[in-house]
Structure 1
């Protein structure tokens, strides 16, 4: 189209130019001819010689294009004329104005004749104006040129089209495929180094950059999705933990109220003056059991806290596992007997040595036996079986109780998780026992597993521990704490605690053993009592009014009379940091409330024995 339009414009301009040139040539030719005739006709007009003028006009027979000619006088009368042989002149009666005129296929020209500047006549010429033939010829030539030019342009176009459009089509195809397949690794081959090549390079670079950004965006979206999933899981875990916390607090309140009720009733019974000794003894037993229950609940919580914070240290030694299991059975025996279960224990006759903390392992198996007893209806069957293998020993605790849903096998070892929360189950505990058992077993390089076919089909807990094969290790067995001691030497003791009931009750116990006890309920009173009668042993609470226990200990260490006293911190704070702070203040021992007499009495007795050894022979009591 571009070539065709250019050729048409060129041909039209050329044709117009040729027509004008053809016209101008004819006009110039006729003007020259008329000028010659005008010069030749001057004498004839001057002498009125028409025959001479006719002879001059007759010379035009050599110009076949001229169809008529004439000479007119100054008055416009025809003076002489010419017409080709056999043709009619058809001359005008009077000449027109000077100049030329084209009419159809003829051209007429009038030229004046002058002599000495005076007009004496006119020359008239008429000739054939064959412009149509010439126009047809030119059109034919231009048509041939245009056809040839278009053929050449087409050939050139077909070749250039592939050079120009092939890369563009390739870019378009690649763009379409990228949109459909999201494959940003596609590239368009570069064939030239011109503008098209620059376009291909730009497109390929664009694909590379888009691919990088898309990959980064997808990676970011993937990471965001993972983070959202983690946050959702964390949120779900927080919701679950919050729900378990509420359930735990409710259970804790319930479990703590259970011992408080019989304790309150027992106190009322003891207020009755005429209660018989048997009733008082039963009441004392009830109070002891309920206090032990409360201590056990608090100890479980403290044990879990110590393990999760990494502050629990095992006292591992080579021990005989059957002895540990017998200790656990003795601990769980009251609940087994209370629920009238049939209990069967199968253990090897010989020793089975493991490297472990005997107290902690006994705690694990006692917990498993207690759980089996609590979650088995009265009159059920509980079995404990030991299976000694090549590298390890497995202890199985089986019951035919309520069983565990297989979906809960992993969850029951989580903190505060309870499988059965029904009110009918009664005292189900705080949900920390299995968590504590699993953590203690793992600290012994062992593992604990549970298997249950389902609800109502009982359950089995298996504890696997590595065997100890060192024959050179000394045999160690768990020791039991002493339940009471008889004092060797009466001592002066100081008990300072703002809890009047605790201080009074502990003082009565120690006085019953023959010691002399001073009571104080604030730090200032404790210092006054110590100065009045320096104690051999001082039991000091930390959070006392006036002066706290740390300050009292520092002052006792600073005074010569009390510097050698045995200082014992008795407090509810039991973290390692609390023990370290007590040691820095000058305390020798750190006991966590409620302090057991099995902890208090050996400390007092150790001082009494040392005093007995240091006393003169005459001052020592007999025996």
Structure 2
């Protein structure tokens, strides 16, 4: 079979069909001749430029062009016809078009050339891309906004591809890891990971791409990062996955949590410290209840013994001695507790004067010697021949030394050795107390002065005590501007405590607290004393003792009664409890001072 030419009567139909296509396409189609004269102008071109076809056909195409295209157009066609060098023809480009109203718009222009009867014609297909350009501009602005956000967030943002190669690295990531952007882009993200993450990353990524099982992606976790200088730091990592076309990417958001981890560790340490303190407090309270019950039992037995009809004078005297000893022990326990409480709350005021530490040591020995002798210890005391003066509270300094001596006696097995040495080193007085006792465990040594901290109390329990003496020692020494240190070679190897105090010049003069108290210790014979205390037994017992000492003593049990009694009784001395109900001791004292001026001596009595 052979193709036969189409009959001529088919051409009108074909032409009509082509015209219909041209008239209904969405792109403008314009045909011009070699001189640039418009020959055809389809409906889409009319809509695009705002002209009717009749207004442009026969006119130069330049009417649809703004400058500089209008000015350059004729020269461009002439050059093409002469040389065949095309800038647009057969290529296409984006240019500006001009509408009938003079407004311009971006358009995509594609030009093709064809010939009819040896004449050249050019067809331009134009598409208004205003919407696309607006969308592109919006996208560009959105990208700029996103880039600005990414560049200014405090978190590092890193993008990698499916091979783990870094694609983006924001300023926060640069600051975090210490790398410039140019140093990491195109490199494997493993460079930012220490082991074991460095060695595991490739396998993890391959496994995820193969199975879709995520360990971090979409979850987030805490990991370690590695800086340019090789240092590592804790960071929070959240990874998300996205696609651009067919390519897969991962974005990691990293946050340095070094400070948070430090605070968490501090809180953890504080929690353990509080737990340890609570444990020590509970142990202390258990010990306190035990120690308070110890003297109460023999005291109760002694009172029962004294009430027995068959008790003779010797038995009563023995019972009284028991009560006196145990009461002394009980008072000492309570005094220690109150001293610790006062020091912690800053309620202790030192009565400082110039005192000789030699005299302080002798006074402390009076308190500690019975405990030392009871254990059969050998005590050596070495004092300088010259006075060692310090500015201090004689009573409190004696308490420091007696506590150290008593502590040494308690924690040394029977027939041990205790040595006390006082010496002056320039402008410092140094007191050293050494014992041959149980020693101090290395882990306990740094905390030996802490409240509620004790070592093995098997020896100490035989002598009683709360184990807070060393806390008192440290606080009192520091209140005198000195310091104290404990040393021990270990358990079973004895201990040494050293106290340093600022010494005064050798020629210091002044009356010590002890001398001052002696000068003021003469009794007020026949003085009238009013005792005010809501504890009836306490008030009556004090009044009885004062009366048996030759004083005229009376007692009342509340504030209003005290004010009324003072008007009638006109006391020389008022001993008043601070914690009275209704009108407290401070108010009573204030009323009495205003009423009697300096004619009455006020003495506060309190258990606080």
Q: Report the TM-score range of the alignment, normalised by the length of the smaller protein.
A: 0.5 to 0.7
> How much is the aligned-residue C-alpha RMSD, in angstroms?
3.8
1:453/1:259 Cα in 2 relative to 1: closer, same or farther (>3 Å)? same
Residue equivalent to 2:535: 499
**1:407 alignment partner, SS class:** coil
Aligned to 2:179: 185
Shift of 1:435: 1.2
SS at match of 1:450: strand
Distance apart, 1:280 and its partner CA: 4.0
Map of 2:283 onto structure 1: 247
Aligned-partner Cα distance in 2 for 1:395–1:412: 18
The structure in which a higher percent of residues are helix is 1
2:424 aligned residue (388, 413, 431): 388
Kindly report which structure 2 residues correspond to 1:533-552, keeping only aligned pairs within 5 A, or say none. Answer: 533-544=569-580, 548-550=584-586, 552=588
| Alignment check: 8 A CA contact 1:494 1:517 kept | yes
Match of 2:603 among 568, 582, 592: 568
Matched, 1:175 2:162: no
1:551 Cα deviation after fit: 5.1
- Aligned partners of 1:321 and 1:354 also within 8 Å: yes
Q: How many residues align?
A: 381
Aligned partner of 1:308 in structure 2 is 344
1:359 Cα deviation after fit: 2.1
How far off its partner does 1:413 sit? 1.0
SS in 2 for 1:299: helix
Supply the distance in 2 between the matched residues of 1:485 and 1:436 (Cα, whole angstroms): 28
Q: Report the CA distance between 1:371 and its aligned residue.
A: 0.6
| 1:260 equivalent in alignment to 2:254 | no
Equivalences for residues 521-540 of structure 1 within 5 A: 521-540=557-576
Residue 339 to residue 222, structure 1, CA distance change in 2 (3 Å): same
User: Does residue 556 of structure 2 align to residue 520 of structure 1?
Assistant: yes
In structure 2, how many angstroms separate the alpha carbons of the residues matched to 1:188 and 1:174?
A: 13
What is the alpha-carbon distance in structure 1 between the residues aligned to residue 403 and residue 265 of structure 2? 37
CA distance 1:326–1:492, change in 2 (3 Å): closer
Worse overlay, 370-379 or 180-189:
180-189
Partner SS state of residue 403, structure 1 = coil
The whole-number CA distance in structure 1 between the counterparts of 2:403 and 2:333 is: 12
Q: CA deviation at 1:523?
A: 4.0
Query: For each residue in 1:82-114, what CA deviation from the matched residue of structure 2 results, as whole angstroms up to 9, or x when unmatched?
Result: xxxxxxxxxxxxxxxxxxxxxxxxxxxxxxxxx
Q: Which has the larger radius of gyration?
A: 1
> Normalising to structure 2: TM-score of the pair?
0.55
Q: Which runs of 5+ in 2 are unaligned?
A: 9-159, 184-226, 228-232, 237-253
Give, in angstroms, the shift of residue 456 of structure 1: 1.5
> Given the alignment, which residue of 493, 507, 519 partners 1:471?
507
Partner of 1:399: 435
Displacement of 1:566: 3.4
Q: Decide whether the 8 Å contact of 1:174 with 1:186 is kept in 2.
A: no
Stretches of structure 1 lacking an aligned partner (at least 5 in a row)? 1-19, 25-170, 190-210, 574-623
Aligned-residue offset at 1:530: 3.8
Cα offset, 1:247, TM superposition: 0.9
Q: Residues of 1 paired with 2:553 and 2:405: CA distance? A: 42
TM-score by length of 1: 0.54
Contact kept in structure 2, 1:487 and 1:513, CA below 8 Å: no
Q: Is the 8 A contact 2:487 2:497 kept in 1?
A: yes
Flag the structure with higher strand content.
Answer: 2
User: Helix, strand or coil: the match of 1:410?
Assistant: helix
After superposition, the C-alpha distances for 1:236-265 in whole angstroms (9 at most, x for unaligned) are 011011111111111111111122222222
Cα distance change on mapping 1:224 and 1:279 into 2, 3 Å: same
- Match for residue 48 of structure 1? none
2:405 equivalent in structure 1? 369
In 1, distance between residues paired with 2:180 and 2:592? 86
Distance 1:484 1:341, change over 3 A: farther
Q: Is the 8 A contact 2:234 2:258 kept in 1?
A: no
Q: Which moved more, 1:297-306 or 1:535-544?
A: 535-544
Instruction: Look up the SS of the partner of 2:365 in the other structure.
Output: helix
CA distance in structure 2 between the partners assigned to 1:486 and 1:310 by the alignment: 32
Cα separation, 1, equivalents of 2:590 and 2:429: 51
Match for 1:291 among 305, 327, 331?
327
Aligned partner of 1:613 in structure 2 is none
Determine if contact 2:389/2:508 at 8 Å carries over to the other structure.
Answer: no
